[in-house]
Amino acid sequence: MHGSTAAQAAQSDARKTELTIDGHTLTVGDVVSAARAKDAPRVALSEDTVRRMLMSIELKGQVIEAGVPVYGVTSGFGDSNTRQISGKKAEDLQKNLIRFLSCGIGPTAPEDVIRATMIIRANCLARGYSAVRPEVVELLLECLNRDVLPPIPERGSVGASGDLVPLSYIASVVTGTGRALHEGVEKPSAEALAAVGLEPAVLEAKEGLALVNGTSFMSGFAATALHDAGELAFTADLCTALASQVLQGNPMHFAPFIFDQKPHSGTRRSAHTIRELLGDPEDRDPGVAQRDASLSEAGFRELEEPIQDRYSIRCAPHVTGVLRDTLDWAVNWVDIEINSSNDNPLFDVEAGVVRNGGNFYGGHVGQAMDALKTAAASVADLLDRQLELVVDEKFNNGLTPNLIPRFEEDSWDAGMHHGFKGMQIAASGLTAEALKNTMPATSFSRSTEAHNQDKVSMATIAARDARTVVELVRQVAAIHLLALAQAADLRGVEVLSAPTKAAYDLVRSVSPTLEGDRPLEFDIQRVAALIASGALRSAAEAATAA
């Protein structure tokens, strides 16, 4: 250890819980918890993992000693694979690989995505088929545990041959070259490693290629986006319940009978969630009494209330349900991806051979993320349409125009305030941007790398897009929740159920009632943070269970 900082880091690690990775059982939830939690668990390799890794290293040594040409070990990379080199040059070849790939551009990825990427890459290598020494993966995990992170530029991957350019920045940190983020400060990697008492690795044959040749960067974006989209699914159901209450809608649109007749799992779950949030209203249709009333002599009657609500309320489970069902299969696909050997070549110890393939191709991640961003953006559109109903006096059933406070006609404030007019404009802009980003990235394969990578997945771009769309939808939801809270104030909070009142109270804890026009930028940010943290869901669920 180098000084007190390293000693303190070691003591801190000793107090942490541990997440043991084995290449087979890591989940999206594990990744996000370890990447984001303030007191994140220490990540370590399982003992069985080490045994498997050593077996592939032994096979690697045998084939190198036999003079067998092995891709990326005793040959060049990509279309240079016909150029065999001596085994004596293998280590220098790995160094040059990291050097020529370090050409990423664009903004630095968020720290939670970087941490997720490091965990996933270590887990993939821990499967034991990549011929990487345990100490290299353990060093990668110690960098994670001690907050030495690679500043990975977001752009530069086509998602086939994996995330070569982004992952080269992980290899740079592990080898003490390039730059590192240590406790949020960028500095030379060697300096950051020394500060926490770690020595850089000298990579052996295949190890540099194994670090950079995989789907872990796209999967880091995917894991965090999937987790956040799960919170959005609940928030959309919460918004629907609140909108139904403040608009004095028909709660029987969410009756179990309806959804039993079209039993998509996600739709049924959304309808069930909305019913619980509404306080499980009695199974009666308020329109029945109206329909039974006598008509005029001319056989006509104007109903005081509509029999059914507009689509953005009545059909909401069918929109949010698509997101829920998409999450189910997308999480499954990404769980498989983060527990896969996705570099090349792989070492088949049982058969005693080296096998070349294309597991680095990010097709499943790309398809999952293109679907996720489409489903999430549709929810933004739903919430934006609900917001229109709430703020527009033509549709909001007696609420004020733009949810302005109620002023006496002789008050100086009469006619002076515009309430949520600007907020609706902002929500519309955010929704349009989310919808624009649904263009499928996976449709834009580009032949590259001297026509060696002639069909690529574009999955990293799809995953980054999905992250962006989810963030935009969260902001739309935050605006809508603020409007719904204002509508509840105007209607009277007695229209709320215990679960929606709990959510209302939490929103009001960070954003007071709008008594007159004021800037709401930071209110949006605070409510968006409540959505992202799961606090709104926890509050509503606790009230439901009470």
Give catalytic residue positions.
71
Burial of 405 (0-12, 13-18, 19+ CB in 10 A): middle
Token pair 């032949």 is found at 447
Burial of 61 (0-12, 13-18, 19+ CB in 10 A): middle
DSSP H or E run through 521: helix 521-533
DSSP H or E run through 99: helix 90-101
Q: What are phi and psi of 520, to 5 degrees?
A: -120, 10
CA distances from 536 to 172, 173, 237, 499 (A): 40, 38, 12, 10
CA distances from 187 to 5, 182, 345 (A): 16, 7, 33
* Short-list 427, 469, 505, CA closest to 232: 469
Token pair 């629907």 is found at 240
Tokens describing residue 544: 């439901």
- 428 contact partners, CB below 8 Å, separation of at least 6: 384
- Looking from the CA of 407 toward its CB, the CA atoms found within 13 Å total 19
Specify whether the CB–CB gap between 479 and 521 falls below 8 A: no
How far is the C-alpha of 44 from the C-alpha of 316, rounded, in Å?
43
- 205 contact partners, CB below 8 Å, separation of at least 6: 60, 64, 73, 74, 87, 90, 91, 93, 94, 131
How far is the C-alpha of 456 from the C-alpha of 445, rounded, in Å?
5
DSSP H or E run through 355: strand 353-355
Strand partners, 195: none
Tokens describing residue 333: 């696909």
DSSP state of 75: B
Query: How many Å is the Cα radius of gyration of the chain?
Result: 28
How far is the C-alpha of 428 from the C-alpha of 368, rounded, in Å?
26
- 508 contact partners, CB below 8 Å, separation of at least 6: 485
CA distances from 7 to 143, 146, 181, 183 (A): 15, 11, 19, 15
How far is the C-alpha of 12 from the C-alpha of 359, rounded, in Å?
37
The dihedral formed by the CA atoms of 237, 242, 243 and 249, expressed in degrees to the nearest 10: 110
How many angstroms separate the first and last alpha carbons of the chain? 51
